[in-house]
Structure 1
Amino acid sequence: MKILIELPTWIGDAVMALPAIENIANSYTNSQITIVGSMASVEIIDNHPQVVKTYILKNKHSNLFRILRELNEFDIFLSFRNSLRAKMFKAFISSKRKFQFNKNKYPSRHQVEKYNSFVNESLNLNLEAGNLKIYSQTPVMNSDKKYLGINPGASYGSSKRWYSEEFAELAKKLAQHYEIIIFGASEEKNIANEIEQLLIMKGVTNYSNLAGKTDIKGLIMKISTLSLFITGDSGPMHIAAAFQVPTVSIFGPTRDEETSQWKNNKNIIVKKNLDCQPCMKRTCPLGHHNCMKLIRASEILDAVKSITK
């Protein structure tokens, strides 16, 4: 059985698709799975034992058509993307059975359940969504130290980002108990550097700033070793859930019932429940950003005490 899967673009969505993909793999145990997706999403799953080949999709049409020329015939094709480009990709794929995710078909449920329902209905299965499972190398851990990861960025937009000053204040209060690791993508180095400078001003020295310095596999390895993670609604938040890392998740404009951590019992969500939430906008449409601005470091510290006691 040859199966082709087009992954979601974003890291968080790719991680949330993992239970559905695991159900595909378990239902077709002798299958050979080919993966197509963004570089970030492919790195999330390319260590899966049934994945035999991967292709990186880029924005250029020449890249898309080159991949199409290299792909052979498949028994099943499933796309977890809903875009016009994904529809075009599906049209050119040679497969006996082809299915594409329709985000409008699955309102008001967790994204993991949306993806799992899509697979169940497409392949006539009746399987529940299991735990997030990332196949990765066993990390080398220093048992003498505890690590706190803080993740201030969010690729979705500025509306999902908590404030550098609050992150730094929180890190200062926790630095006596944890080694601090600042995470972030290359485009999030500015906010990570702001936090670093604030930590220096506060006299905190036991930190490392990894923003823009790790690939996805390195990010997975580092997050898997954490004792505690403090983050906004982001891709790394879902990676932490896969490793059951105790997590405080800060939510503002997005729907936590759809994109919160999946099956992590050590997770606490902090949010304000304002009338304007969730607006689902990349920048605050009202200009005040109160859903994040009103959250203080002291509230996150209370959540940390609750989750680690």
Structure 2
Amino acid sequence: MKILVILPNWLGDALMATPALEALCSVYPDAELTLVGSYVSIEALKYHPRCVRHYVDETKKGGNRFANTYRFAKELGVHDMAITFRNQVHSSLLLFWSGTPLTAGRRSWHSRLLLTHSINPSHPSHLVEQYRDISQSLSPIPLVIGNLNLHIPPHRYNRPMLGINPGATYGSAKRWYPEKFAEVARAYSDKYEIILFGGPNEVGMANDIESRLNGIKVTNLAGKTSIQELCSFIGGLDLFITNDSGPMHVAAAYQVPTVAIFGPTRHAETSQWMNEKSYIVRHEMKCAPCMKRECPLGHHECMKSIEPEEVIEAVKNLTYNTLKQGRPQ
């Protein structure tokens, strides 16, 4: 069974598609996956044992994208079935032009025209469940979804490690403040060694936090890791403090105890999936969730109003409950 999969562009969204992928692989034990996605999503998911081919989608680069998409579809060739987790016309066209007889995607004007199954997921629901609903159209039996899944071994540290992730690729509205992250890190520096994460565009924030932790041992990995290394290093942590971001979902895949700080996004839709060792810090506000990259009102109160003491208290509650769950009954 050859299955063509168009992955979401963002790291976190790609990880939230993995329960649906695993469910399809359970229904079709002989599945051979062809994965298409952004560089980030492919680097994270190409290690799946059922992945036989993987491609970074470069149809945007050079020339006419419609022509590029047509040529790419012919290169991919016919599969037994195909699914796109992106809601864009070029992804629908890619599946259509591949000649694959059974295709599925989220309902839209283009998926209705171009795909055999145009699915409207149930709402409100978590994004993992929405991806399951789209995938269900390719299965003759109900799909059972489990945890997020990464096939990258976690790093093994020789001491307790606290990871701090101050960035969020989507935009500044999702980012808490470096000085507040630093205050939380300092509060737990006697129990954990601190490790900072971030992409190439988030080095400044990580450096800011590091400068505020003078005298404390800090490993700053911002801008220094591959996607594989990022996943592995997060996977071995004892505690993770992060904004709503791709690395937050990486931590969920490894069941890392996590405190996640939410502001402008829908926590019920994109919070950590099936990680019982997870705690959300957020404030109810009339203007949230706005889902904007930058605060449209200019005050950023959804994040600015969250104080370090709240996150410190959340860590206390999380670690207490984690220890309690770990005790023999």
TM range (shorter): over 0.9
Partner Cα separation in structure 1 for residue 298 and residue 267 of structure 2: 22
Q: Residue 63 of structure 1: CA displacement?
A: 6.1
Q: Residue 80 of structure 1: CA displacement?
A: 0.7
**1:224 alignment partner in structure 2:** 235
What do the CA deviations read for 1:206-235 (whole angstroms, capped 9, x no partner)? 111111111111011101110000001000
Work out which of the residue numbers 76, 79, 103 in structure 2 matches 1:71. 76
2:310 alignment partner AA: E
CA RMSD in angstroms, aligned pairs only? 1.6
Question: Is 1:192–2:206 an aligned residue pair?
Answer: yes
SS in 2 for 1:96: coil
SS in 1 for 2:240: strand
Q: Which runs of 4+ in 1 moved over 6 A?
A: none
1:127 alignment partner AA: L
Work out which of the residue numbers 157, 165, 175 in structure 1 matches 2:179. 165
Work out which of the residue numbers 121, 130, 146 in structure 1 matches 2:137. 121
Question: Is 1:209–2:220 an aligned residue pair?
Answer: yes
Partner Cα separation in structure 1 for residue 53 and residue 210 of structure 2: 40
Q: Residue 43 of structure 1: CA displacement?
A: 1.9
Alpha carbons 2:74, 2:97 under 8 Å: kept: no
Structure 1 residues not aligned, in runs of 5+: none
Question: Is 1:83–2:99 an aligned residue pair?
Answer: no
Work out which of the residue numbers 303, 310, 318 in structure 2 matches 1:292. 303
2:227 alignment partner AA: I
1:70 alignment partner AA: E
Partner Cα separation in structure 2 for residue 53 and residue 136 of structure 1: 17
**1:308 alignment partner in structure 2:** 319
% of aligned pairs identical? 46
Alpha carbons 1:57, 1:63 under 8 Å: kept: no
**2:50 alignment partner in structure 1:** 50
Q: Which deviates more from structure 2 when the two are superposed, residues 264-273 or residues 42-51?
A: 42-51
Q: Residue 44 of structure 1: CA displacement?
A: 2.0
Structure 2 residues not aligned, in runs of 5+: 109-118, 321-329
Cα distance change on mapping 1:256 and 1:184 into 2, 3 Å: same
Alpha carbons 1:119, 1:125 under 8 Å: kept: no
Q: Residue 87 of structure 1: CA displacement?
A: 2.2
Structure 1-normalised TM-score?
Answer: 0.94
**2:106 alignment partner in structure 1:** 101
SS in 1 for 2:213: helix
Alpha carbons 2:70, 2:97 under 8 Å: kept: no
Partner Cα separation in structure 2 for residue 296 and residue 141 of structure 1: 30
Partner Cα separation in structure 2 for residue 230 and residue 241 of structure 1: 12
SS in 1 for 2:102: strand
SS in 2 for 1:190: helix
Q: Which deviates more from structure 2 when the two are superposed, residues 38-47 or residues 104-113?
A: 104-113
Partner Cα separation in structure 1 for residue 295 and residue 92 of structure 2: 31
